[in-house]
Structure 1
Amino acid sequence: MIEILKETDALLEGHFLLSSGKHSNRYVQCAKVLRYPDKAEKILKPVAEKLKEMDIDVLVGPAMGGIIVAYELGRQLGLEAIFTERVDNIMALRRGFEIKEGSKVVICEDVVTTGKSSMEVKELLESMGAKVLAIASIIDRTSSKLELDVISSLRVDIDTYDKEDCPLCESGIEVVKPGSRKF
């Protein structure tokens, strides 16, 4: 899996502002992997294998990073794959997508770090009567236990810092915000 990340230039080094508000010295830009359908299939195959054991009705990918992940997992598993997107910076289900009460759902992400976006989607789906089973992702960067299990292809430990304690800020390295969430 690391080789796939390297050969697609998805593993970046520098000074990054994460969607959690924290800073890091490395960043996994999964969009670089997902631009190649054959690589997307390979990198998500281990996740699909683990999900086969679960009784899932629908996969939900939060925009942006989770859309292609949900689609590819849906393709491999023969399941419906839909997505949420932000409306006034709040996750919503749009475009005629629906969640039926009692639906068993897996949230699909490219990278899970703090789980903030996933938990926002979980809250939305549960308000519609869904049962959220887990989070599926390419990369698991979590440093603490989340409310849901994370099923991933790869666990990656990357240093993260609060802005106030960031050695990269102190050394004057310019920060880059590669994610899609607005602050």
Structure 2
Amino acid sequence: MTTDEVAAYLDTSALVRMVECDVQSPSTRALNTGSPVAALCSSSRPPVGISSLTIIEFHNTLATMWRNNHPDCSEFDQDWVDRSQVKVMDLLASGRLTLRSSPTRAAEHALALITLATRNHGNGFRVWDAIHLIIAASWSHERGTPVELWTADKDFDRFVDLVPEFKHFVQIRYLSE
């Protein structure tokens, strides 16, 4: 399907930044990076995709934040975790978020990309990030138009510069602080 609408794919960092705003005193970082994601998810904009990996990482990150005893994490309690999980599931149920599947052999391709990034270039790109990039590129191919990959992770840009072929399919939208 070809469309002029630019779809957005959210990696885990983008979803986490969105729910970090849902506390009494959100950090400046959360407001600067999470508010655009919340606006995207509540707009009538073209599709917003996530993957099962996004959901798994999201739940894991929330649990990690809940267990963190650092004073900056004091508002990330069980109630916040529950609200955050429900919020994302409601966005999926309403159709504002769509679940994108991983292409066949995504894990093997991700391992090859990580080897290239790490061994050959010393890049900090991680395997889960590679899978997000592969899913976004696959969705772009399916749609016939580039997909914006929303992330707070700076390593995406550096990696895509190493493998510029991804730029035909994925535009990195970095959520800057």
TM range (shorter): 0.3 to 0.5
Structure (1 or 2) with the greater helix fraction: 2
User: What is the TM-score of this pair, normalised by structure 2?
Assistant: 0.35
Q: Which has the higher contact order (CA 8 A, sep 6+)?
A: 2
User: What is the TM-score of this pair, normalised by structure 1?
Assistant: 0.35
